[in-house]
Structure 1
Amino acid sequence: MNILRKWNQISLVKQIIIGLLIGVTLAVTVPESAASLAIFGSLFVGALKGVAPILVFILVMSAIVQHRKGHQTNMKTIVVLYLSGTFFASLAAVIASFLFPVQLSLAESAEGVTPPTGVTEVLKTLLMNVVDNPVNALVNANYIGILAWALVLGFALRGAADSTKAMIANFSDAVSKAVGWIIKLAPLGIMGLVAESITTNGLESLLGYGKLLAVLIGCMAFVALVINPIMVYALIRQNPYPLVFKCMRESGITAFFTRSSASNIPINMKLCENLGLDKDNYSVSIPLGATINMAGAAVTISVLTLAAVHTLDIQVDIATAIILSVLAAVSACGASGVAGGSLLLIPLASNLFGIPADIAMQVVGVGFIIGVLQDSFETALNSSTDVLFTAAAEFKEWRKEGKKISI
C-alpha cells in the first residue's frame, strides 16, 4: 500500500516515462518478454478506443444541453486555428520538399487498398459519415457522425426538463470518471506498446528511407516548434513554449505510441481539464480536432507527393506548389473519412502532376514501410495540437479579461 501511495503521488507524465524506460529496457535485454508485455498495450489501446466514442457522444451532447444562454464559446477561433494550422503545415512541407528534394526507390505497389479518385469523393465520404446511423457511428467509431448526432440531440434536448438535463450531466460525469480510471493505466499500456514496437518492427527496414524520414519528421518538428508557437503567441501574447511543451509531453507521448487520434481523445480531455479550460468548449473542440485538425497528415501528403515528383523529374512551378498546399490541407481534413488515412490520399495529390496511378500506389507502399515512424510522429503532432489550439483560444479570452495565464 505504501508503494502504491507513493506511485500515485508521482505525476502521470513521470509514470509514463518510467513505463516507457522499462518497456525499452525489457525489449532490448529480454526480447522474449515482449510477447507477454504486448497484451498490456493492446488492452490499454482497446480500452481507450472502446470508451472514446461514448465519451465524445455524451460529453458533446451534455455540453450543448447544459450550455447557458449568453455564455461565450471559442469555437470560431478554434476552427480557424485548426484550418490555418493544417494549411501552414502543408505549405511548410512543400517548401521543405523543394529545399531538400528526395528521390525514392519505389516499393512494391500497395495492394488491397483503393484510394479515392478525387476531392469530391473525399468530401462525399465525409458528408455520408455525417448522416450515418447513430448506433453504427458509435460502433464503428465514426467521429464525424458521432459529433453530428451529439449536436443534433443536444440542441433537441435544450428545452428538456431539468431532471433530464441532470441525468445527462450525471452520465457525463460517470463516463469521465471511467476514463480517468483507464488513463491511470497509461504507464502499463505504454510499457507494453513500446516493448512490442521495438521487438516486432525494428529499424532495419527504415534505413533506406533515412532522408525521406528526415524531411517528414523535420517538417513536423518545424510545425510543432515554430509555426504552432507563432500562432499561439499571436493569441496569448506571452511565451508559448511552456504550453507547447506541456501539450507535446502529456498528449504527444501517448499519441505517438497509440498512433490513433481517436484513442487519444480521453487523454486530451483530461489534459484540458488539468489546464482549467471550459468543459463546454473542449468537449466539442477535442473530438472535432481529431477529425479536421490534421497538420501531420498534410505534411505526409505534401512530402510524399513531391518526393514522387522529384523521382520522376517533373518540373513544378510556384502556383502549382501552392495549389498542392491547399489540396493537401483540404484532403487532410477529410482523411478521417477515408480508410487508410493520409497515405491513401497521396494518389489524389499525385494526380495534380499527372503521375500515373501505378506509380502513386508504389509511393503509398513506401509510406506503409516507413509508417511505423511516420504515422507515430504524425499522430503525435495532430493530437497534441488539438489541445494546444483549444487552450490558446481560451487563454486569449483570459488575457482580455485580465486573468493570469499560468501553465
Structure 2
Amino acid sequence: MKNVWQAWTNINLVTRIIAGIVIGIAFALLLPDAAVIALLGSLFVGALKAVAPILVFVLVIHAIASHEAGKKTNMKMILGLYAIGTLSAGFVAVVASFLFPTTLTLTQGAEEVSAPSGIGEVLQTLLFNIVSNPITAIAEANYIGILAWAVVLGVALKAASATTKEVISNLSDAISKVVQAVIQFAPIGILGLVYEAVAVNGLSALGEYGRLLVVLVGSMFFIALVINPLIVFIVTRRNPYPLVLLTLRESAVTAFFTRSSAANIPVNMKLCEKLNLNKDTYAVSIPLGATINMAGAAVTIAVLSLAGANTLNIEVDIWTALILVVLAAVSAAGASGVAGGSLLLIPLATSLFGVPADIAMQIVAIGFIIGVVQDSCETALNSSSDVVFTAAAEYATERKK
C-alpha cells in the first residue's frame, strides 16, 4: 500500500487532475447512470468540509501568535502595500464579477437557500456569528466565528512561552499535512464531480467553468499589469514596468509551475539580492509576504463567492459587496500554504450571504476543477507581488532622502 501511495503522489498533481477531468467526462458520456462514480465527488466534498474549519482556526492562530517585531526596516510601508494590494485585488474581483456575472451548476441543496433581505440582516448575521461559541463555530463550520476566535486567541498567545508557540506551530504543520493528504485525492474527487455535472447537465456544464476561469484569470492579469504598477508609481514616482516585468519574468513564471508561494521564497530572495535591496528588510518581508500577501487568493475568494451568490439568485448590494472586498482580503491573508488553500476559505466569504456549508463546499470543489490554471495564476500573482512591494517600499524611502 505504501508503494502504491508513493507511486500515486509521485505523479504531478496537475497531470492527475487533468486526467481526472478527462476520465470523468468519458465516464459521463459512456456510463451516465453509474451513481457510484458520482459518490467519489461527494466523498471529496465531505472531506474538504471536515478539514476546512480546523485548518482556518489553527492557521490564523499560528500566524498571529508567532509574529514578532523585526529590526528597523521598511516593514511598516511594506505591510501597508501588502494590505492595499490585497484590498485592491478584492475590489477588482468584485467589479469584474458585477460586469461579467457567472453562475455555477450545483448538484444539491440550492433550492433550500433563502437570500438575506438586505445589509441589515447581513450585519446582524455577521455579529451573531462573531460571538458564537468557538466549539459550536467549528462544529457548524461558522467561518466568521472561527476567524474571530482565532484572532482573539492568536493575540492572547503572542505573550505565550516559546514552547507553547512551538506546539501551535507543530499543530499547524500537522493540519497542513492532513490538508495535503486530502488534496492528493482531488483528482479522484474531481473525476466524480465532473462525471455528475456532465451526466446530469451535459457538456454545457463545462462551459460555465470556462467563463468563470476567464473572469478569475482576467482579474489577476489586470492586477499584475495595471493595479500593481499603479501602486508602485504612486509610492515611488518612477516608471513601474521595468520592476513589474522583471518580477513577472523571474518570479511569477517559477511560481506558476511550483504553485507554492513558500517554495518560491528562495527565488524571490535571490531576485531581491539582484535588485540590491536591503537584506534586513527582504529577509522578513519575503517569507511574510508568502503568508499574508495574497492578492490572487482575494480574487479567487471574491469571484467564486459572487458566482455562488448569482447561482442562488442572491442579490448583492453595493454595501454588502464592499464588506466582501474586506472579508476576501482578510481571509486571503490566512490562506493555507498548500495548493488550493485559498479555495478552502471560500465558505468564510459565502457565509456572509447565508450560504450553507454544504453548498459552499460544492463551490470549493468547482474551484478545484479549474484549479489547474487558477491556482497557478494565483500563486504567480501572490509571489511576484512580494518582490514588487518590497522593492517599491525601498525605492520610496530612497526618494524621500
Runs of 4+ more than 6 Å apart: 35-39
Structure 2 residue aligned with 1:117? 142
How does the TM-score come out when normalised to structure 1?
0.62
**Pair 217,337 (structure 1): closer, same or farther in 2 beyond 3 Å:** closer
* Cα-to-partner distance string for 1:330-357 (whole Å, 9 max, x where unaligned): 1111123899621111112111112222
Specify the SS of the correspondent of 2:289.
helix
- 2:99 maps to amino acid: L
Q: What CA distance in whole angstroms lies between the structure 2 residues aligned with 1:235 and 1:301?
A: 27
Following TM superposition, by how much is the alpha carbon of 1:276 offset from its aligned partner in structure 2, in angstroms? 0.3
Structure 2 residue aligned with 1:92? 92
Structure 2 residue aligned with 1:169? none
Structure 2 residue aligned with 1:137? 169
Following TM superposition, by how much is the alpha carbon of 1:235 offset from its aligned partner in structure 2, in angstroms? 1.3
Following TM superposition, by how much is the alpha carbon of 1:293 offset from its aligned partner in structure 2, in angstroms? 0.6
Matched, 1:288 2:288: yes
Q: What CA distance in whole angstroms lies between the structure 1 residues aligned with 2:368 and 2:331?
A: 19
Matched, 1:228 2:260: no
Q: How does 1:24-63 map to 2 (within 5 A)?
A: none
Q: What CA distance in whole angstroms lies between the structure 1 residues aligned with 2:379 and 2:337?
A: 16
- 2:321 maps to amino acid: A
Structure 2 residue aligned with 1:387? 387
Q: Is the 8 A contact 2:236 2:392 kept in 1?
A: yes
Structure 2 residue aligned with 1:78? 78
Q: What CA distance in whole angstroms lies between the structure 2 residues aligned with 1:226 and 1:281?
A: 25
Q: What CA distance in whole angstroms lies between the structure 1 residues aligned with 2:373 and 2:141?
A: 24
**Which one is further off, 289-298 or 345-354?**
345-354
Q: Is the 8 A contact 2:305 2:350 kept in 1?
A: yes
Structure 2 residue aligned with 1:170? none
Q: What CA distance in whole angstroms lies between the structure 2 residues aligned with 1:269 and 1:100?
A: 37
Identity %: 59
Q: What CA distance in whole angstroms lies between the structure 1 residues aligned with 2:337 and 2:257?
A: 22
Q: What CA distance in whole angstroms lies between the structure 1 residues aligned with 2:171 and 2:305?
A: 34
* Cα-to-partner distance string for 1:196-250 (whole Å, 9 max, x where unaligned): x9xxx9xx99665111000000111111111111100011111101100111111
Q: Is the 8 A contact 2:260 2:337 kept in 1?
A: no
Q: Is the 8 A contact 1:106 1:366 kept in 2?
A: no
Following TM superposition, by how much is the alpha carbon of 1:106 offset from its aligned partner in structure 2, in angstroms? 2.6
Matched, 1:277 2:277: yes
Q: What CA distance in whole angstroms lies between the structure 1 residues aligned with 2:365 and 2:10?
A: 30
How does the TM-score come out when normalised to structure 2?
0.62
Matched, 1:399 2:399: yes
- 1:137 maps to amino acid: S
* Cα-to-partner distance string for 1:37-72 (whole Å, 9 max, x where unaligned): 969x9xxxxxxxxxxxxxxxxxx99x95xx5xxxx5
Q: What CA distance in whole angstroms lies between the structure 2 residues aligned with 1:348 and 1:38?
A: 29
Aligned length: 283
Q: What CA distance in whole angstroms lies between the structure 2 residues aligned with 1:107 and 1:272?
A: 47
* Cα-to-partner distance string for 1:129-155 (whole Å, 9 max, x where unaligned): 97664387379769xxxxxxxxxxxxx
**Pair 38,298 (structure 1): closer, same or farther in 2 beyond 3 Å:** closer
Q: Is the 8 A contact 1:217 1:377 kept in 2?
A: yes
What is the RMSD computed on CA atoms of the aligned residues? 3.7
- 1:299 maps to amino acid: V
Structure 2 residue aligned with 1:310? 310
* Cα-to-partner distance string for 1:62-112 (whole Å, 9 max, x where unaligned): x95xx5xxxx51110000000111111001101110000001123689xxx
